[in-house]
Amino acid sequence: MEKLWAPWRDKYILTKTEKRCIFCNKQKSKKDKTNYVIERGRYVFSILNIFPYNNGHIMVAPYRHVKDIGELEDKELLEMIKFVKGSQRLLNKVLSPQGYNIGMNLGKVAGAGIANHIHLHIVPRWTGDTNFMPVLFGAKIISQSLDALYEKLKANV
């Protein structure tokens, strides 16, 4: 049997689950580098997903803890979309993806990992980034460390 070694994933596997909302915790912290906060606006912020679907998976969340798009004020919604646009531009510059999945999962049954704090996903895509690994082995290969990616993104914000 072949083995894939990814010892750097220990820090994600062994990280204690946060009891409070991750978006509320991360936005209040001043440790942007540690928390992978890419950019802060007046109403929203962007952050790298530490359990990414693909390399460069960014999330945009409002500072307010709301669970549904209908609860967002227009100014929050507008800034969220502007951050998505900026994140896509940033990812184009740094990673040159061939496409994107951009969207929200509203509610646990829709796949929301954090169902009570709305957030938008920006997931870069490349030809061939879906393969047999997730299907046969339940494993996803991410080609770059979060620390290295964060440094590249921050240098280009």
Helix (H) or strand (E) holding 44: strand 44-48
Cβ 62 vs Cβ 70: under 8 Å: no
Which residues are 102's β-sheet partners? 122
Distance CA 52, CA 54 (A): 5
**Considering only CA atoms, which of 72, 70, 52 is closest in space to residue 61?**
72
Residue tagged active-site, from 57, 65, 117, 119 = 119
57 annotated active-site: no
State CA 7 to chain mean position distance: 21
Distance CA 122, CA 110 (A): 17
Q: Which residues are catalytic?
A: 119
